[in-house]
Amino acid sequence: MKWVKRIVIALVVVFAFFYLITRPEDAATAVEGAVGAVWTGVEAVGTFFTKLAT
């Protein structure tokens, strides 16, 4: 099963590079959205612990 995982990871990486090369604006928008979502989550966790401590 390790070889299946490696093949799937390789396909995802190849698709990501293909998407980055063929549609750079869309790829940048996708990355901005992902980073924004992670940042929002980090802020929510920080707010939770701040409220918990007070």
The pLDDT score that the predictor gives to residue 2 is 87
| Rounded distance between C-alpha atoms, residue 18 and residue 13, angstroms | 9
The pLDDT score that the predictor gives to residue 6 is 94
Task: List the domain boundaries for the chain.
Answer: 24-54
pTM of the shown model: 0.63
Q: Residue 1's pLDDT band (boundaries 50, 70, 90)? A: confident
The pLDDT score that the predictor gives to residue 54 is 82
Tell me: the pLDDT tens digits for 6-52?
999 999 999 989 988 999 999 899 999 999 999 999 999 999 999 99
Tell which phi-psi region holds residue 23, choosing left (phi > 0), alpha (psi between -120 and 50) or beta. beta
